[in-house]
Chains A and B, each alone.
Chain A
Amino acid sequence: MAEYKKPTSEKEFQKNFKQKKPLMNATEAYYEASRCLFCYDAPCIQACPTHIDIPLFIKQIHTDNVTGSAKTIFDANWIGNACGVVCPTGVLCEGACVYNHQDVPPIQIGRLQNYATNTTIEAQKDIFKIGKSNGKKIAIIGAGPAGIACACEARTLGYEVDIFEAKDKPSGLTVHGIAPYKITNEEVLKEIKYLQDQLKFDIKYNSAITSKEQLQKIEKEYDAIFLGVGLGKTATLSLEGEDKKGVVGAVEFIEELRMKHHKTNVPKKVVVIGGGNTAMDAASEAARMGARKTVLAYRRSKEEMGAYGFEYDLAISAGVDSLFNATPIAIVGNGKVEGVKFAKTEIIEGKLQTNMNNVFIVRCDMVIKATGQAKQGSFYQLIDDLEIDTKTRIVVNEETFQTSNKKYFAGGDAINGGAEVVNAAYDGKMAAQGINQWLLK
């Protein structure tokens, strides 16, 4: 039973994808800020991957120094505005807020953060300073959160920066992947423009770096290179019938949804395969696009899902049904998908076993595979001496983010295998400092 009517206009789309963390108004921000205790050595700061001085920026909101508050935020996190609404705050800063120990709702740190930065961006306040030019140049591959953060930090340190981006928009998965009810495209792009207007770095769009020659040219022209390439397309499942029409990867589905909104085609019955946050998002999104039946299928139990509990709850509240302990064995249909054949699974001696005696078909018109993104392995092979771990993640020095090829630095999903925007923002910033240390020593 779908709770959402199929959106036929942008207005209906926005209604179905209503923002989960709407912008606070000044009064709400003032009162919420007043609750913060200004804890000593505050645990929320430790829980934020970028270590924003949270009690300080909240006090600045409360004392009507919103610009100063935004400065505090951006000083630690160049993607501070988006992070305020896309971060899983319940497991980060807000999860660490001392109020939780009292069963009192924690401070809404994310929304306050978004309020301060959004207000400052809207007012077009100039708050950043480009560093005195040191004559050196940095190339950045990928304009996702990691790349943008690296660019901003590098500009404040006096570097010339050029970003090479495969797509026609900046900000990577923040604009192409994150669920539309967390942040709008405009909000994402507005922040990048604000940063770019002040820090003046160049982004070359539609400029995928795919060959050794391109890399050699970059290596020659630039003093250091930062890799913020993220992950690749949805990995294949090697399932019988996977090539049928109507079988799509989650990342590709979500990207289309983010770009085309209500014009994205979502049929009546959808099966989503996977148990991570991306699967939860894709299922929620299919339901909000008016699918009458959306089934979320995961091969293990609910408890074993990688997704956050709140993301699962959100999908269920959107009208998604779940199917646990069932693994897909084939996609059925005549040319186009008509259903997914599942086999029940069970754990025998600690191992997941498929029970081929318990097989059934779930009818559907669309299958969304949310079983992980492929890594950029073939791209990494183009770079000499670049060390990659067994999970195809680039290996970096934890403090400087330098790779085994000294000229290259890396951060974001490319080194952690897929985490959050806030991690990418942290990595990019620290990598710029790592580059600075390396070049100036």
Chain B
Amino acid sequence: MIDLSVNFAGIKAPNPFWLASAPPTNSGYQIMKAFEAGWGGAVWKTLGVPVVNVSSRYGSVNYRNTRMMGFNNIELITDRPLADNLREIEEVKKYFPDHAVIASLMVESKKEWHQIIKDVENAGADGIELNFGCPHGMCERGMGSAVGQEPEVLKTIVEWVKEAATIPVITKLSPNISHIVDPGLAAVQGGTDSISLINTIKSIVGIDLDSYAPYPIVDGKSTNGGYCGPAVKPIAMNMLKDLAQHPEISKVPISGIGGIETWRDVVEFILLGATSVQVCTAVMHYGFGIVREMETGLRQFMEEKNYKTIYDFAGKALPNITEWKHLNLKHKVVAEINADKCIGCDLCYIACDDGAHQAISLPKEAENRIPSIIEENCVGCNLCALVCPVEDCITMVKKDDGTEHITWHERTMNNDVPTTFDDDRAGGKGHFVPKPTDALK
């Protein structure tokens, strides 16, 4: 029997699929609907002193036939009075006592923090999330990412919160920083019970070519937004890895956020150490129903791999992520084209010839457009396999026999690395490159 339930720093939920603090968690109505649909938890839209929002709030990046592969917004925290939200939290908890309801908070003074924590605890919230991430609007007022970018300030506020809170505290980090470990460590040192990341990334998603204003346009002007959606997933996963591999920070559980839409995304975040995931853009795009695909996919994966709980595989990818200098320089792969599958688009040829290593040739007869790999020129970069539009048509085949292993680190230790500009040990020395003038033929 597969058990999807989680105990995240003391916050219990029937599954790890949580809604991130955002428009889908604006009201009790939405959260009840989400729980009905299968979500296990929800982080309420950030509470604080209610704001006034602008009209025209979102922009997006569409790629090819995909709408909203990247999404940005200039909305602030909740614009609803606190009392209304508290009443609805209470009501949701009455109907769904076993689901996780977490109150996201953002206020300024210590007094306000203590007051609002007491309020949400009284309403029955299972946990608190501290919003130190919002990169637009709120940061201009000294909150949100303005805190997330100052580890010392962040730590102080976490300490204030911990003085008052009796329920678990999640600190939500901003990715708008060059070294995510600094605020992560500050949060842990301040006493947080757990971490969530990422919030949105400062962004401009596009510019209108008639009015010359970026999207979303508010009466001819705009401001930077916060970027999210599938486009930001790789950035989020790297930051998650940085925290999950850190000896101090990894002592607290981490909730993964950023571009999650499918079961695969969920599994990948868990493999990088997340033990709950939070979703916003995918729900804003497709509605709460997408959780069905996430749940069935996760179950299928766990069944096939024989896992009982998500803790059985949480963090399993972390030991395989190392520094570049520890990679095996003797590993060798070479591209191989399956001529039966090839449709002759010749994208691999032009990609390799113009963008990589001139290791693919076209056939002499014009009729047959199936290219071939020039094995001795192929450096095994993967580019052709990535551009090929046919599933499993180009595969990267391992050519070394696995007996040799040497890393950059080891070679450095042995004084066997290039040290001068024209060092004979240059990796590309002797590798085939066409004559410059061959380009003019």
Measured CB to CB, the residues of A under 8 A from B are 30-31, 34-35, 37-41, 43, 62, 98-99, 101-102
Contacts and interface: CB of A to CB of B under 8 A. Distances in A.
B389 interface: yes
B64 A34 contact: yes
22 contacts: A30-B65, A34-B64, A37-B345, A37-B347, A38-B347, A39-B344, A39-B345, A39-B346, A40-B345, A40-B346, A40-B347, A40-B349, A40-B350, A43-B344, A98-B343, A98-B345, A98-B369, A99-B343, A101-B342, A101-B343, A102-B343, A102-B390
Closest 7 CB pairs of A and B: A34-B65, A40-B350, A101-B343, A40-B346, A39-B345, A98-B343, A34-B64
A39 B347 contact: yes
Interface string B384-405: 0000011000000000000000
A167 B327 CA distance: 78
Nearest to B371: A40
A43 B345 CA distance: 8
Interface string B342-362: 111111011000000000000
Contacts of A40: 345-347, 349-350
B73 to A, nearest CB: 23
B390 A31 contact: no
B369 to A, nearest CB: 7
Q: Could you say which interface size class chain B belongs to?
A: 10 to 19
A439 B77 CA distance: 75
B67 to A, nearest CB: 10
Interface string B55-72: 000000000110000000
B389 A37 contact: yes
Contacts of B342: 101
Interface of B: 64-65, 342-347, 349-350, 369, 389-390
B343 A35 contact: no
A341 B126 CA distance: 93
Contacts of B65: 30-31, 34-35
A319 to B, nearest CB: 38
A62 B344 CA distance: 23
A39 B343 CA distance: 10
A31 B62 CA distance: 12
A396 to B, nearest CB: 26
Contacts of B344: 39, 43, 98, 101
A149 B195 CA distance: 69
A40 B389 CA distance: 13
B361 to A, nearest CB: 13
A203 B347 CA distance: 46
A37 B65 CA distance: 12
B64 A62 contact: yes
A440 to B, nearest CB: 29
Nearest to B349: A40
Contacts of B390: 102
Contacts of A30: 65
A43 B369 contact: yes
Contacts of B345: 37, 39-40, 98
A38 B387 CA distance: 11
Contacts of A35: 65
A34 B67 CA distance: 12
Contacts of A99: 343
A35 B345 CA distance: 13
A98 B370 CA distance: 11
A40 B345 CA distance: 6
Nearest to B354: A40
A30 B64 CA distance: 8
Contacts of A101: 342-344
A43 B344 CA distance: 9
Given A30-B65, A35-B65, A40-B345, 8 more contacts: A37-B345, A37-B347, A37-B389, A39-B345, A40-B349, A41-B346, A98-B343, A98-B344
Contacts of A41: 346
Contacts of A62: 64
